[in-house]
Structure 1
Amino acid sequence: MNKNLLTVVLLLLSLRVMAVHVNDRGLGEVLIYPYYTVNNYLNTMYTVVNTTEQAKAIKVSFHEGDAGLHVLTFHVYLSPYDVWSGALVPTESTIVGHLDEPTAVHVTPDTSCAPYLNKAGQEFLPYVIDEDLNPANRSLARATEGYMQVMELGELTGNAVAFVDHGGVGVPANCTAIQAAWDTLDWALEEPTEPQGGLLGSAFIINVAEGLSMSYDAIALNDFWDGQGVFTDPGSLLPDLSSGTAESKVLLADGTLAVSQWSSGIEAVSAVLMKAELYNEYAYDAFVNGKSEWVVSFPTKTLHTNTEGPALAPFSQAWDGVQSCDEYTAMLYDRETATSHQYQCCADPPPPPPEDPQLCLTTNVIEMLPPYTAANEVSAILGSDNLSEPATYFDSRVTENGWGVLSFPASPGMVPVNGTGFRGLPATGFMVQQFSNGGAGEGLLAQYANLFIHKGRVAVMEAE
């Protein structure tokens, strides 16, 4: 066979591989929302859209920000072209053993069928946190920030399709029958067929008091399932991000497609999120009281580090009940290319370099502060105490705005069974900014906010 023709054939075959991948067009079977928060009196709202003509069963789950443990999970049954929406607001727990602890409550006015969910106000639940390793670190305050995910379980068939249909009145025809089908924890209606995707999602963080909103799109994973989905009861912690295919597809910068076979489904999902470096901007301009914070989230970390033995690569430490840390390095460049980095020689002999900073939780916040400013206990915008402060020595020329890069050079990376491996960590997230214009005219609203998704570099490593 002609060599060029062989290359084309191999490429076409690889394109047909049913392997999990990030769909840059935003549609998928799984949606990952990298961050929610109710700290600092913030609210987080989210939506899930069924863009298809098929009724679907989906699983919605929320994970606290320390170790990624479940704090709420439920089913939603979407009719064709349906939208599910919900909001998280701050509250104090009324659950015995956690009375008055800060937590979140989920509320929704949505009429779509969500059996067993208290739509008027469902508090986050402590039952998985209560089993964590360190009894001193089991407060529901851990759940005031974290991440969420949505998984399609399958497309409905038979009577269930009619039961969830909204008809002309905007209310499902018979949600009671859907709930009754689960009353014995054994689905009593026709089984769903294979998930086909077509979900999209978004979230926005709202500061009601200051009239600010910051929004982002959910990360969409396509071809997550290798055939049939896993259709468990509404309260089950399964399926999770380890339940899908063990193959991944990543489009590389040079236009080639990296197809890899892994030992587990969670490694495949981590592979499609791997970054050797993250890039974003910062601004703390004094004139407008500028603030900038970076969210760095690891939505697959809990399934790599909450293990009985060593952590699963690329993470280096198992969760010990308080933390699971991985080093990173930071370099900042202002808009005129002056640099701020973690170590620069300024004496002879030079002082010892500082230790690299660490990201020790599932969702982490890095607050960008002016040179020589003391770190805060909680961040100014998101109110996070999941803080990591980059250890930097600032060049005196560095100004109030610019961009930065986070690198993960200490990570062992991920080596697949077959195919292409990746360096770095499965990191995602965004940068948020807030400004207050003190020079605005009288009577003008002078509060502004932005959110920008991290960009990143993918670095490959070959299988051994």
Structure 2
Amino acid sequence: MNPLSRRCLLAAAVASSLASPALAVRLDDDGLGQALIHPYYTTRIVQGAQFNTYLSVVNHTDTVKALRVNFREARNGRVMLAVNAFLAPYDVWTVALVPNDEQAGAATRLLTADESCTDPPLPFTPSVLFSNAAYTGANSDGLGDGLDRTREGYVEMIEMATLTGASAAAATMSLSGVPTNCAALRGASVLTAAAPTGGIAGTLTLINVNDGLDFTLGAEALAELSRQPYYRPVTDPYPGFNAAEITPVSVVGVGSKVYRAAWSSGTQAVSAVLARREGMGEFVLDGATLSRTDMVVTLPLRPYAPSSDGVAFTLDYRDREGRGQSAIPCEGPFAPTCSAQWDRVASVITFDGGLPHTQDDVGVLSASTGPLITTSGGGFNQPPMTTRTTRIRLGEDPVANGSFSWRVGPAGNTVTSLPTSQVIDTVTGLVTTGSQTYVGLPAVGFTLRTFRNGNLACGTATCQGNYGGSFPLKFRRDIATP
């Protein structure tokens, strides 16, 4: 039997074994989906130079999309601004997030010159300020009331529906480059709509103009969330990743096996496709180029879970020759005394390669980085939920570059699917039915690396010699079956 025939028979066998509908929530490797997670934004100021964040979403289809866009802050994932964006076929929507002024406690504001239809309207002037209403007063979560909380976080975008009929016509661009009748869409409680079909993609750019730094990333894309429209006006906090219309089935590929799991809710399905036991990356801490490395980890499902004190993890690192060590003061890999907690929705950790060190040393995203793990003890984020950036000392001797990994323990980070779940072995064609246990955190993240050469002589002129790059974290999964 030739390989092509075998693959066709295997596909038929797998399809016939699936009693439930084929739709299942999944991560899309090509970056196209029904929902996007932009893992981080910042408008913080580092050494007098401010970061801005540019965000985009593209409708790569010939249909009109109705999206819910939630801008969430980093400590507890509270929504600071919600927008309904109506994207015409092949439309691109772009916004910029900047600090409202030079004060550390100022709010983030959103700017856009984009003509795409949105609710509320988002004109270029005046800009729209992020609000602290979701975490102050009756909504207080005890983690701070200041507008400083709006200065970093992440963004979720969810396709609520494909617009049809008169609603689609209202969002379609006219010959003058503006929507035909945006007013008919703003505030409407009911629109003519069909199920979401996917095909949206997005990017983010963290840019520091004064320092000459620019970091770009693609948004994480979730596909096949729903076959039901679930449009709501922007004044309604619904929907999110806890929407009842999200299919409670997930599919994850690990090696030669495909895990198709059934859950009691769509939120669990989204959690399953993002569940990671271990996150891995590289660091560069070269003294000659004043290089720094930051790791950013975001937990996008935390706002939909019960409040907790955090999730324990341990950290391991190796130099470029593969000689392994654990972050001081640990005595061995994953030693309990090195355990820390992801106690924020979005966390920034700066790596430090050795002496000299001060609390004002510059990381990539911060100039004041909070607690430091040293040989005399210490720990992460003390008190919990308030420190936004933490520094990890990788030993007393400088470590120029190498690799690292963080790993979460099973306690409190295990979820088991329904017994109708299935595992498909794509090599043998064997299909096994039974519950699946996922260990890990629904997490996304990346590293940022800088090389700061300052001002350089370029012939008779002076030019800036700062560079930066961004790299998605690599992940390992832990899924157990009977």
Q: Scaled by the length of structure 2, what TM-score is found? A: 0.82
1:332 counterpart = 2:317: yes
Residue in structure 2 matching 1:21, options 7, 18, 26: 26
Map 1:423-462 onto structure 2 (within 5 A): 423-437=439-453, 440-442=456-458, 443-462=462-481
Displacement of 1:126: 1.7
Partner of 1:199: 200
Quote the Cα distance in structure 2 between the aligned partners of 1:100 and 1:295.
Answer: 21
What is the CA RMSD across the aligned residues, in angstroms?
Answer: 2.7
Partner of 1:75: 84
CA 1:209–1:395 in 2, change beyond 3 Å: closer, same or farther? Answer: closer
Partner of 2:38: 33
1:155 counterpart = 2:155: no
Quote the Cα distance in structure 2 between the aligned partners of 1:378 and 1:259.
Answer: 47
Displacement of 1:10: 4.6
8 Å contact from structure 1 (residues 63, 147) kept in 2: yes
Displacement of 1:132: 3.9
Higher mean C-alpha displacement, 453-462 vs 367-376: 367-376
- What percent of counterpart residues are identical? 27
Q: Which letter does structure 1 place at the counterpart of 2:441?
A: L
8 Å contact from structure 1 (residues 248, 269) kept in 2: yes
Greater strand content: 2
CA 1:134–1:256 in 2, change beyond 3 Å: closer, same or farther? Answer: closer
Q: Note the alpha carbon deviations across 1:1-22, whole angstroms, 9 max, x for none.
A: xxx9996545225596211000
Quote the Cα distance in structure 1 between the aligned partners of 2:259 and 2:471.
Answer: 27
Partner of 2:67: 58
8 Å contact from structure 1 (residues 340, 395) kept in 2: no
1:12 counterpart = 2:18: no
Map 1:109-128 onto structure 2 (within 5 A): 109-120=113-124, 121-128=127-134
Q: Note the alpha carbon deviations across 1:28-63, whole angstroms, 9 max, x for none.
A: 000011111111211000111001011111111110
8 Å contact from structure 2 (residues 170, 179) kept in 1: yes
8 Å contact from structure 2 (residues 457, 463) kept in 1: yes
CA 1:240–1:345 in 2, change beyond 3 Å: closer, same or farther? Answer: closer
8 Å contact from structure 1 (residues 156, 193) kept in 2: yes
Q: Which letter does structure 1 place at the counterpart of 2:231?
A: F
CA 1:235–1:353 in 2, change beyond 3 Å: closer, same or farther? Answer: closer
Q: Secondary structure at the match of 1:128?
A: helix
Quote the Cα distance in structure 1 between the aligned partners of 2:341 and 2:200.
Answer: 34
Q: Which letter does structure 2 place at the counterpart of 1:364?
A: S
Partner of 2:373: none
8 Å contact from structure 1 (residues 285, 401) kept in 2: yes
CA 1:439–1:257 in 2, change beyond 3 Å: closer, same or farther? Answer: same
Q: Secondary structure at the match of 2:194?
A: coil
Partner of 2:431: none
8 Å contact from structure 2 (residues 311, 343) kept in 1: yes
Displacement of 1:355: 4.4
8 Å contact from structure 2 (residues 133, 139) kept in 1: no
8 Å contact from structure 2 (residues 162, 197) kept in 1: yes
Displacement of 1:166: 1.3
Q: Secondary structure at the match of 1:451?
A: strand
Quote the Cα distance in structure 2 between the aligned partners of 1:362 and 1:327.
Answer: 14
For structure 1, which runs of at least 5 residues remain unmatched after alignment? 94-98, 307-317, 319-323, 347-351
Displacement of 1:395: 7.5
CA 1:118–1:167 in 2, change beyond 3 Å: closer, same or farther? Answer: closer
Q: Secondary structure at the match of 2:414?
A: coil
1:292 counterpart = 2:293: yes
CA 1:344–1:406 in 2, change beyond 3 Å: closer, same or farther? Answer: closer
For structure 2, which runs of at least 5 residues remain unmatched after alignment? 1-6, 370-386, 422-435
Quote the Cα distance in structure 2 between the aligned partners of 1:292 and 1:139.
Answer: 28
Displacement of 1:325: 1.3
Quote the Cα distance in structure 2 between the aligned partners of 1:401 and 1:176.
Answer: 55
Map 1:25-424 onto structure 2 (within 5 A): 25-40=30-45, 41-91=50-100, 101-120=105-124, 121-130=127-136, 131-135=138-142, 137-179=144-186, 182=187, 186-187=189-190, 189=191, 191-225=192-226, 227-243=227-243, 244-252=246-254, 254-306=255-307, 318=308, 324-342=309-327, 345=331, 354-371=337-354, 374=357, 376=359, 380-383=363-366, 385-390=387-392, 394=395, 396=397, 399-411=399-411, 412-418=413-419, 419=421, 420-424=436-440
Partner of 2:4: none
Q: Secondary structure at the match of 1:143?
A: helix
**Aligned residue pair count:** 425
8 Å contact from structure 1 (residues 279, 455) kept in 2: yes
8 Å contact from structure 2 (residues 314, 338) kept in 1: no
Q: Which letter does structure 2 place at the counterpart of 1:251?
A: G
